[in-house]
Amino acid sequence: MTMPKLEVIAGCMFAGKTRALVRRVRMLQEEHQLVHVFKPAIDNRFSVSDIVSHDGTRQRAGIVPTDDEYLTDGPGIVCVDEVQFLSSRTVDRLMTLLRTGAVSNAILAGLDLTWRGEPFGQMARLLCLADRITKLQAICACCGAPATRTFLADRSVWEGTVVIGGAEKYEPRCFSCFEDGMRGHTTEFVGGILTPPPHIMGRDQPCQ
Which amino acids are annotated catalytic?
Answer: 82
Q: Where are the beta strands (DSSP E) in 13-84?
A: 35-40, 50-52, 58-60, 62-64, 77-80
Residue 182 DSSP SS3: helix
The rounded radius of gyration (Å) of the Cα atoms in the chain is: 19
Cα dihedral value 109, 183, 178, 145, nearest 10: -170
**How many CB atoms are closer than 10 A to CB 177?**
25
134 closest CA partner among 28, 17, 54: 17
- Structural contact between residues 186 and 166, judged by C-beta atoms closer than 8 angstroms: no
The full DSSP string for 112-176 is SB-TTSSB-TTHHHHHHH-SEEEEE-EE-TTT-SEE-EEEE--GGG-SSS----STTTEEEE-HH
- Structural contact between residues 12 and 46, judged by C-beta atoms closer than 8 angstroms: no
